[in-house]
Amino acid sequence: MTRPFVDLHLRINTKDQPVTQRLIIKAAQMGYHFISFPFTNVVHETEFVALKAACTQAGIDFVLRADFKPRTQEDLTLFLRKFRRSFEVICIVCDSKEVARQAAKDRRVDLLNFPNLDYHKRFFDRAEAELASCSLAALEVDIKPLLVMEGPARVRLLSCLRREVAIALEFHVPVVVSSGVGEEVLMRLPRDLASLGYLFGLNASEALDAVSTNPAVIVLRNREKLSSRFIAPGISIVKEGKPK
C-alpha cells in the first residue's frame, strides 16, 4: 500500500500567487499527497477555493489549517470555540507553559508546535506529554531550523528535539514532521524529510509515519468530524431514509 505523504506546514504568503503556484507544483512533483499553508484566522472562501483548485489541478490535496499563538488559556478557549469547525487542522503555537498545558489536554487541538529555539522556553516535557496522551494532540517538529542553523545552535536544538521526541514516544504521543519552509530551495522529498527524523531519535518506521500516517490520520479524522454525516466517533449517517 502506498504511503500518503503529507507536509502540513509550508509557510508562505498565499497572496503571492506565483510563489504559491510553484510550491504547489513542486510538492506534487516530489510525491506529496496532502499539503497545507497555515492561516491565522478566518479564510475568505474565494481564497480557499482558489488554493484548493490549484492543488487539485496539480494532483494534490489541500488541507485547511489554522495556526494560533494564544497569550492565555482564555485566548485559546475562545479561539477553539470560534474556529474549530472552520478548519481541518488546528495547530497551537506554544510560547508559554500555561498555554502549552491547556492546549495539550484540549481534544480540539491537533498539533502542538514549539518554535522557540531557547531550551528554557520549550515546554514539551513529561507533564505535557502525559496530558497530550489523553487527548488527540500530536507533537509537530519543523525541520527548517535544522536546515538553516549551524554550529552549536543546531547541536543544542537537536539535543532538545531528541529529548522531546523520546518523551513523546514514551507516552504514545504521535510525532508529525513538517518542513516549515517557504522557499523552493529548502523543500525536501518526503523520504528525505523523514530521514531527518533519524537525527532526533526516530527509527525508520517511526520517521516515515511522521511524514505520512500520523498527519494523514489527523486530516482524515477531522474531515469525518466536519462532515454533515458525522454523529460521533465511529458513527456516521450512511443514507437517510424517507419517512413513511
Question: What's the structural domain count of the chain?
Answer: 1
pLDDT averaged over the chain?
90
> For residue range 12-68, what is the model confidence (pLDDT) as tens digits?
888 888 999 999 999 999 999 999 999 887 677 888 888 999 999 999 999 999 999
Domain that holds residue 77: 6-226
Query: Quick check: 124 and 99 in contact, CB under 8 A?
Result: no
Which helix (H) or strand (E) element contains residue 6?
strand 6-7
Which CATH number belongs to the domain containing residue 90 in this structure?
3.20.20.140
Tell me the DSSP string of 179-213. ----SGGG---HHHHHHGGGGGT--HHHHHHHTTH
Give the Cα separation of 189 and 177 in Å (integer): 13
Give the Cα separation of 201 and 159 in Å (integer): 10
Task: Specify if 82 maps to a domain.
Answer: yes
Q: What does the pLDDT read at residue 239?
A: 60
Give the Cα separation of 59 and 146 in Å (integer): 29
